[in-house]
Amino acid sequence: MILSRYLNREVLTSTTAILGVLFAIFMSQRIVKYLAQAAAGDISGTMVWQMVGLYSPVLIGFLLPLAFFLGCLLAFSRLYVDSEMAVLRSVGVSERFLIKMLMPAALIIALVGGAVTLWLSPQANELTYQIRDEHASKLELSMLTPGHFQVFQEGEGVVYADSSERSTQLGNFFLAEMPSETNPNTRIISAQSAERFYDESIDKNFLQLNDGHVYELDENQQISKITQFESYFARLDAERSIVSRRKISATSTPVLWNTADGASWAELHWRLAVPISVPLFMFLAIPLSRVRPREGKFAKMLPALMVYIGYIVLIVVFRRALESEQIPGWIGFIPIYLVMSLLVARLLYLHGRANTVNNKKQDTDKEEAGS
């Protein structure tokens, strides 16, 4: 149908344009942040663009409902400004019929948004953490400042090394592992040099110590064992020192469903909010897009943004309540969806009532003109 293709083209064109603008704005801020981290040495230059690419699906999933909402709003507002909506109503095409024609596109966008937030975004977040961890592991030796004692493993160890003629090597290396709950003994390692060694077979980075001794002290700080070595391979406890802690955003959706604690429920409902919000805001865009021809198609943009901001604020409040387990996890954002549904129903009712009044007034004017 020509009208259906025309309406869907208008909405999708506006949605794509708005999504592109919002994506450019938010992504530029993220790029500046990554470049600042690269300048500080926290990440490498290659990692900047890898992390930008991995952040793209996360950002698209967040912006998709807003872009589609504003796209519908602008498309329908233009129909009112150009008096096309009046022409459509005169030939028997109502807003309800337009909604039916737009519903397939809304469902497709909702499915795309759901696939991004429920599947693609967690994988992208997990890959981002893996890239950061690999980079941190490779920097393990370079993070050691020659001539200074440094603490690692959350205070359970001390390391010291002198500088060397080779940039990839440290001289007069000293490492002391303090007693812990699992190991009451103290271990001291001294070596003439140290360098990083990468084992391709197990994909791990090690610290290779050359020509030194290992001293093991018992609970009374008495030497219980001395070991001499030519080459000694040690791996610092990166999992507790420099590897970033996984956030729940990198957890897969099935794991969230099986965990079912407060934080998992909050993250799960946050992801489900994207596909649910798309058709909800499509219905809301219909009554909000009603403008007079002289007002312009951007006249209702500010009220629409205020409604969307209020919706996001409620989502954030309920998410925090779910994380702290102040409300049951199965409830989620259902109260917000009910409130928004009531608002949509009320606005659609007022919108339909106003159209009925206008039609009656036009019929009356025609009868008076005919008489």
Residue type (1 letter), 335: P
Same domain, 16 and 122: yes
Residue-level pLDDT at 238: 43
Same domain, 129 and 277: yes
Residue ending a domain, among 241, 258, 292, is: 241
Query: Looking at the domain assignment, is residue 44 inside a domain?
Result: yes
Same domain, 78 and 198: no
Same domain, 218 and 81: no
Query: Looking at the domain assignment, is residue 144 inside a domain?
Result: no
pLDDT in tens, the chain (371 residues): 678 888 888 899 999 999 999 999 999 999 998 888 788 666 777 888 899 999 999 999 999 999 999 999 998 888 888 877 777 777 777 777 888 888 989 999 999 999 999 999 999 998 888 887 776 655 555 556 677 777 665 556 788 878 655 555 777 888 888 777 767 778 888 888 887 776 666 656 677 888 999 888 887 778 888 888 888 887 654 433 333 445 788 889 999 999 888 889 999 999 999 999 999 999 999 888 887 767 777 778 888 999 999 999 999 999 999 999 899 999 999 999 999 999 988 888 887 776 665 555 554 544 455 55
Residue ending a domain, among 225, 241, 257, is: 241
Same domain, 224 and 252: no
Same domain, 190 and 275: no
The number of folded domains in the chain is: 2
Query: Looking at the domain assignment, is residue 143 inside a domain?
Result: no
Query: Looking at the domain assignment, is residue 93 inside a domain?
Result: yes
Same domain, 230 and 305: no
SS3 sequence, the chain?
A: CHHHHHHHHHHHHHHHHHHHHHHHHHHHHHHHHHHHHHHCCCCCHHHHHHHHHHHHHHHHHHHHHHHHHHHHHHHHHHHHHCCHHHHHHHCCCCHHHHHHHHHHHHHHHHHHHHHHHHHHHHHHHHHHHHHHHHHHHHCCCCCCCCCCCEEECCCCEEEEEECCCCCCEEEEEEEEECCCCCCCCEEEEEEEEEEEEEECCCCEEEEEEEEEEEEEECCCCCEEEEEEEEEEEECCCHHHHCCCCCCHHHCCHHHHHHHCCHHHHHHHHHHHHHHHHHHHHHHHHHHHCCCCCCCCCCCCHHHHHHHHHHHHHHHHHHHHHHHCCCCCCCCCCHHHHHHHHHHHHHHHHHHHHHHHHHHHHHHHHHHHHHC
Same domain, 268 and 124: yes
Same domain, 302 and 273: yes
Residue-level pLDDT at 355: 61
Residue-level pLDDT at 144: 62
Same domain, 98 and 20: yes
Judged on CB neighbours under 10 Å (0-12, 13-18, 19+), 336 is: buried
Query: Looking at the domain assignment, is residue 50 inside a domain?
Result: yes
Query: Looking at the domain assignment, is residue 8 inside a domain?
Result: yes
Residue-level pLDDT at 47: 85
Residue-range definition of the domain harbouring residue 158: 150-241
Query: Looking at the domain assignment, is residue 145 inside a domain?
Result: no
Same domain, 126 and 256: yes
Same domain, 184 and 96: no
Query: Looking at the domain assignment, is residue 142 inside a domain?
Result: no
Residue ending a domain, among 181, 210, 241, is: 241
Residue-level pLDDT at 368: 53
> What are the tokens at 332?
């989620």
Q: Is the pTM of this model over 0.85?
A: no
